[in-house]
Chains A and B, each alone.
Chain A
């Protein structure tokens, strides 16, 4: 079945440093979604990317969808302590039913 690999599993950064998490799918995707989950909280939907090579920005967050629509990345510039949490990607397989497959997430720890 479809697999979505996400790396790294954990990332420690000093406040102000940049952070990137990567997702790779075993199959071509129709779209990919990104979520953030704070410790003890529920996931918060961040964005959905649909087009090949798409790049979208939300303030300090930059989301990219690969040209082959099999990989994606989330980059945070100048991290802040409020960025702490686990970031998940979820890919929906191209040509199939709308069933998102989640990566295992990257836990971001920001040291002040």
Chain B
């Protein structure tokens, strides 16, 4: 069965520094999509970034970028210049062959002022 693993239950970073959240997944497919979602204390789920597996170039959205290693099945999220508003749960997700999203358990990100 397809799975998504986030090995860091909690991470903390000093404001303005850079932090990387890890995610690995298991699949036998060659074409799929990967996502990072953010869930702040309000519990509203917000899309942070998206990566298509057929694209070799890593996706970037302002301060957020990914390191997509297809062979290693790794999809880490890098947050540069961390801000207090970045504090949230971060979930990695992957589209399964029948297009259902498979979710990791999440990483709680703490920003220290």
Chain B associates with chain A: no
Query: Could you list which residues of chain B lie within 8 angstroms of chain A, going by C-beta atoms?
Result: none
Query: Could you list which residues of chain A lie within 8 angstroms of chain B, going by C-beta atoms?
Result: none
